[in-house]
Chain A
Amino acid sequence: MGWLPLANILHHKLRSALSALGIGIAVCMLITLTGLSRGSLFEVAQRWESVDADLIVLPRGWGDNASDKSGSGLPDRYAAKIAAEMGDKVRRVVAVFTWQIKLAGQDQMSVGVDGEAWQTLSGGKRITQGRLFDPQGKFDRWLRDKLLRGGQGDGQVLELTEQDLCDPQHNGLEMVIDSRLASAGGYRLGQTVFTANHHWQIVGIVQAGAMARVFLPRATAQYLFGNGDMTRSTLMFVKLADGLDPGPAARAIAKLTGQDVVPLARYRGMLMEKFGIMFTYVDAVNVVALVIAFLFIMVTLYTMVLQRTREIAILKSAGASNLFLARQVAAESMMLTGLGAAAGVGLSFLAARAIQAARPLLTVTITWKWIAIAFAAALIGALASTIYPAWRAGRVDMAEVLSLE
């Protein structure tokens, strides 16, 4: 029974192509925008989840959302305290200092980390070019010596010049970036980049997928971005002993330190809480695009019904029921939609490639789930947009049309 709708589609090629394109653009928007918003966010979540830890310790009162925290907040002494008090329940505590710096034209969360804690944060990703910064901890020692020699205790501010910081004997202005950032910014090993008011040398490039795109020596980050306070970090990762329930351990550490402690597994949820509203906007845009596309299809089908009143009258004169006519209209709508949706999926892959070519740091994740949702939405929309034209087709007065011969 499909050949009349198919014949009509093939006969009106341009109109059919435009209708299918309308659907295709809407489906492409749905898949691409969803893939972009969720893909970029989940890519960040995935990187954090790659950290080899179970808990995150956050300064009390900062809220339990670690996704946007930076700066000095948590006394470093808690790392030792947790390790000492928790005993063999804790395998390690890693303090990190996070700060936003601008690279490749956009803000990047840089993570200050000690060399020995690198493995915890690298997510198993290898440094493919160069080395880790400050491999012997020279800069860290030099900086702390200088602080002590100056007779300044914890929390005291030390004034250093750029020359002090990048002395070849203890270069503290080194960074490791990930391969995606290197590709996006056109950065290469050994290059000096200017950001955060300093010149930094790229000493290593790590595979994409580590916790952050930019890693700095923690001491440098503390000094530069923590107002010279070398005693505080932003947060701490705690790796528990194997098999230990994170819940009670988190409560014990919270009691011990007086700080907030959340499971790392909650990080994705934190991101969703923080940025989930974006999905609402994206979904709203998608719904509007789909509605417009299906209004377009409905107008096309309605026009088709108006143009084919004679054809419809002839079919009715042969005894065609309203259901038969509705099925013809629906079949044409479904074919156009199927065609458009398939084109939309193809377009979405092209769009994803184009977006990632233009903005390499954005992640567009096209999943079967969202392809299926887009198809289902398109087909439901196609059926819905059939209702009025099909009703009009059923209302064609064959006696009147045939009397006009």
Chain B
Amino acid sequence: MSNDSPNILVASDLHKSYGRGPARNYVLRGLDLTVRRGEFLAVMGPSGCGKSTLLHVLGLITPPDSGRIVLNGGEVPSAERGRNLLRRRHIGLVFQRFNLIGVLSAADNVAIWLRVRGLSPNGRILPLLEELGIAHLSDRKPSEMSVGEQQRVAVARAIAHEPDLLLADEPTGSLDSANAAALLELLRDLNRRRGQTTVMITHSPEAAACADRVAHMKDGRLLP
């Protein structure tokens, strides 16, 4: 598979479990998923069906027990170092609780994200914050922002290095309806304007309605 492939991510027969012996919990049970380049995919499912585990596996945060992931044309290795490198280059993550670094300003939160990836933040941050309509938050620390603003900064941070794949784990889960709507609009807008491939885990039908495609998950598998 080449980089010209229409698929940014192909996951095949993914298995993931936690615990040992009788207490072993099989969370992913042979899951298959293909994400097309430029697609906005929502993954829905009830609590405990393995949505977040799927996001961690797709985000290369945790390795699957078995199965195969092809990201941007290359097979994801099992070694931590290789997955780390791919995560750094290709993946952006948005979390439900924003996870901004409390002691840093919005601009510095984005900047350190770039530095971690070995990229210079010079000249990249302000245009990005302007694009997302949050340039006025540049010098503010998370404690000085609303939750909606924090999540927009978190999105800015996640896309600052122009990842091939944006993974969002319940991004509206901590927001009120107005802020949730604004955030979904932002993600939708990024997808349309930038062609940002996005996989969003959600249990909200309203959120899922923004996606191009909705995949339903149950008992560790995607429903056909």
* Bound pair (A, B): yes
Q: Is the CB of B96 within 8 A of A319?
A: no
A1 at the interface (CB under 8 A from B): yes
| Contact residues, A302-329 vs B (CB, 8 A) | 310-311, 314-315, 317-321, 324
A4 at the interface (CB under 8 A from B): yes
- For the complex formed, measure the closest distance between the CB of A7 and the CB atoms of chain B, giving whole angstroms: 4
A: contact size bracket: 20 to 34
A319: which of B62, B95, B108, B116 is its contact (CB, 8 Å)? B116
Complex interface bits, B94-106 against A, C-beta within 8 A gives 1, otherwise 0: 0111010111100
- For the complex formed, measure the closest distance between the CB of A278 and the CB atoms of chain B, giving whole angstroms: 47
Q: For residue B113, which residue of chain A has the nearest CB? A: A318
Knowing A399-B61, A402-B61, A403-B56, say if A315 contacts B112 (CB, 8 Å): yes
A398 at the interface (CB under 8 A from B): yes
For A368, list chain B residues within 8 Å (CB): none
The total of interchain contacts (Cβ-Cβ below 8 angstroms) comes to: 63
B: contact size bracket: 20 to 34
Q: Is the CB of A321 within 8 A of B115?
A: no
Knowing A1-B115, A319-B87, A399-B62, say if A405 contacts B169 (CB, 8 Å): yes
Knowing A1-B115, A11-B103, A317-B93, say if A398 contacts B85 (CB, 8 Å): no
Q: Is the CB of B104 within 8 A of A317?
A: no
Mostly helix, strand, loop or mixed at chain A's interface?
A: helix
A405: which of B62, B95, B111, B115 is its contact (CB, 8 Å)? B95
Knowing A7-B103, A8-B103, A405-B97, say if A317 contacts B59 (CB, 8 Å): yes
Q: Is the CB of B87 within 8 A of A317?
A: yes
Interface residues, chain B, with chain A CB atoms under 8 Å away: 52-53, 56, 59, 61-62, 84-85, 87-89, 93, 95-97, 99, 101-104, 108, 111-113, 115-117, 169-170
Besides A321-B84, A399-B62, 19 other A-B contacts (C-beta < 8 A): A3-B104, A3-B111, A4-B104, A4-B112, A8-B103, A311-B102, A314-B101, A315-B112, A317-B87, A318-B88, A318-B113, A319-B89, A320-B116, A399-B56, A399-B61, A402-B56, A403-B56, A405-B97, A405-B170
Provide a sorted-by-A list of 7 A–B residue pairs whose CB atoms are within 8 angstroms.
A3-B104, A311-B101, A314-B95, A314-B101, A315-B112, A315-B116, A319-B88
